[in-house]
Amino acid sequence: MTTSGSRPAPQGPGVRATPIPGLLVVDLVVHGDARGWFKENWQRVKMVAAGLPDFEPVQHSVAANGPAGVTRGVHAEPWDKLVSVAAGRVFGAWVDLREGPTFGTPFTLELDESVAVFVPEGVGNSYQTLTEGAVYSYLVNDHWSPEATYTMLNLADPTVGIDWPIPLAEAVVSDKDQAHPTLDQVTPVPQAKTSGRVVVLGAGGQLGRALLEALPDAEGLGREDLDLTDPGAVESFDFTGVEAVINAAAYTAVDQAESPEGRRSAWAANATGVAALARAAVVHGFRLVHYSSDYVFDGTKDVFAEDDPLCPVSVYGASKAAGDLAVSVVPRHYLVRTSWVVGEGKNFVSTMTDLAERGVDPRVVDDQVGRLTFTTDLAAATTHLLDTGAPYGTYDVTSTGDPVSWAGLTRTVFELTGHDPGRVTPVTTAEYMAGVTGPVAPRPARSVLDLDKIQETGFDPVDQLTGLTTYLDGKKDS
C-alpha cells in the first residue's frame, strides 16, 4: 500500500471499479508534512464529479480497535456506506451477497488513510486490523436501527476463501461473527428496484428502440412528448420521480447541417436542447446518459481517447461537441461516445445490403476508417454503466476488432450476403463528393475510438465481424 508522502498529491480523488458491481475504491488526496496529515474524507462535489454516487449520507460512525487482528463482519447492511481509515491500517474484505450473477464474488484491499471504499447496499463488509489502535470510519445514508435486517456471512466461508493476513484462529473475533452462516446457507439480498422512473428520449430511433428492449420498464418518449429543440418544454417537463434520463434524441443529418436551416436545427437539438436537459439534471438530481459522436474529433489521430481535446470540423460535429460540454457539468452523467451506428432501421449496412440485392454496384469511400457500433451493444453498455455504478464520465463504446474503411466494410457485407465483393469500387472521399449536389460536410478520416476505459469497467463490446454477421443473419430471418 502506498502511503501519503511517497507520491505526488493528485488534484482530486480518483475512483476505481472492482469486480463487485457498484463497489468502488476511492484514492483520497492526503496532505502530509512533519506535523502529520490532512485529508477530505468526504467532499461531495469533488467525489461525485470523480464518479462516486451522491448517496446523501446521514450518519457518521467510528470504531476504535485495540490490538492488531480485530476482525469484524461479514455484514451486508440495508444502506450504502463509505468506509475509510482514520488511523492505522486494516485489511478490508467485501463479498457480493445480492442476488444475481456476481453473488459470492469477493474483493479484498488493504486500507490506510489514503484509500476509502464505497460499499453499496447488499454487499457484505468486513475488515481485520493490521496495526494496534486502528480507527475505522464509516459514513452511511440511513440511521442505524436495532430493527434493521442484516444479511451475514461466515468470515471463514471456504467457498469465498478470504485470505486473512492474520489467521482467524489467531484473530480477535466475536462469538456472533463466528456463528454466521456459510454462503450455501445465505439467502441472497434481493436486488433493489430502481426507486424512480427511467426515461428514454428519442424512443422511436434505432438506438431508442434498442434501449427500450434492454430496459423494458423504461418510459419511451418521442419528440411529440418532449421536444428537446424547445428549451421551455424541457424546463416545464415534470421530472418528478425520474431517476435517470437516457437521451438518444439527436439531429444526425450530417450534410444537411451545413445548410442555413440545417445548422439551426442541429444546434437546437444537439446543443441548446442538451444544455437545457443538463440544467434539468442538475436541478432535479437525476442521472443523465447522453450519446456523443466520433465527429467531435477531426480524424487526424490513429486512435482518439475520451480525454482528447474536442476538435470538430463540421457543423454537426461542433453541435455535438457543444452538447458534450453541457453534459460534462452534470454531477451524475455518462457521456457515451460512439461511431458508425447500426440498428433496426435505415443505416449504412442496410443500405449496402439493399444495393447488393438489387444488383447495384456501388462506389464507396475507401479513405475513411473506423469501427461499427451495434445499437444492441450500445444499449447493453448503457445498462452496464447504470447497473454497476461505474464512475461517472465519458466512455467510448464501439465494436472491437480491426478498423476498416467504408469500402472494406461494404465488401464484407456483399460477401456475407452471398454477393461478389468485386462489385464494390473503392474511391477517395474527394472522388465521391465530386458527384454530390447540395451541402456536403467534411468527414473525419479516422474514427477509431479507444475502448480501454469501458473494458476496465467489465464490459466487453462485441467484435465487429461477429456483430455484423449476427446483424445480417437477423435481417435474413426478419
Kindly state the percentage of the chain with pLDDT values over 70. Answer: 96
Contact at 8 Å (CB) between 130 and 88? yes
Cell of 252: 444526425
In angstroms, how far is the first alpha carbon of the chain from the final one?
56
132 pLDDT above the threshold of 60: yes
Weakest-pLDDT range from 145-149, 206-210, 371-375, 419-423? 145-149
Higher pLDDT, 304 or 286: 304
- Confidence (pLDDT) at 78: 86
Domain boundary assignment for the chain: 14-185, 197-477
3 pLDDT above the threshold of 80: no
Q: What angle do CA 187, 111, 157 make, to 5 degrees?
A: 30
- Confidence (pLDDT) at 17: 92
- Confidence (pLDDT) at 10: 43
CB atoms within 10 A of CB 30: 18
- Residue 60 known to be catalytic: no
Mean pLDDT for the chain overall: 92
241 pLDDT above the threshold of 80: no
User: For the domain with range 197-477, which CATH number is right: 3.20.20.80, 3.40.50.720, 3.40.50.300, 3.40.50.1820?
Assistant: 3.40.50.720
Mean pLDDT of 239-243: 83
- Confidence (pLDDT) at 273: 96
What fold characterizes domain 14-185? Jelly Rolls (2.60.120)
Same fold, 14-185 and 197-477: no
- Confidence (pLDDT) at 436: 83
Weakest-pLDDT range from 44-53, 184-193, 301-310, 407-416? 184-193
Higher pLDDT, 2 or 265: 265
Mean pLDDT of 296-319: 98
Each residue's pLDDT tens digit, 343-393: 998 999 999 999 999 999 999 999 999 999 999 999 999 999 998 889 999
- Confidence (pLDDT) at 24: 95
- Confidence (pLDDT) at 2: 30
Mean pLDDT of 449-463: 96
- Residue 291 known to be catalytic: no
- Confidence (pLDDT) at 4: 32
1 pLDDT above the threshold of 60: no
- Confidence (pLDDT) at 475: 82
Mean pLDDT of 104-123: 96
Each residue's pLDDT tens digit, 321-345: 999 999 999 988 999 999 999 999 8
- Confidence (pLDDT) at 192: 55
Instruction: Give 11's pLDDT tier (boundaries 50, 70, 90).
Output: low
- Confidence (pLDDT) at 25: 96
Mean pLDDT of 272-288: 93
Most confident of 3-7, 188-192, 280-284: 280-284
Instruction: Give 83's pLDDT tier (boundaries 50, 70, 90).
Output: very high
292 pLDDT above the threshold of 90: yes
Selecting among 127, 138, 295, 395, the annotated active-site residue is: 138
- Confidence (pLDDT) at 18: 94
Distances (CA, A) of 243 to 42, 98, 390, 470: 23, 21, 16, 33
8 pLDDT above the threshold of 50: no
Contact at 8 Å (CB) between 102 and 96? yes
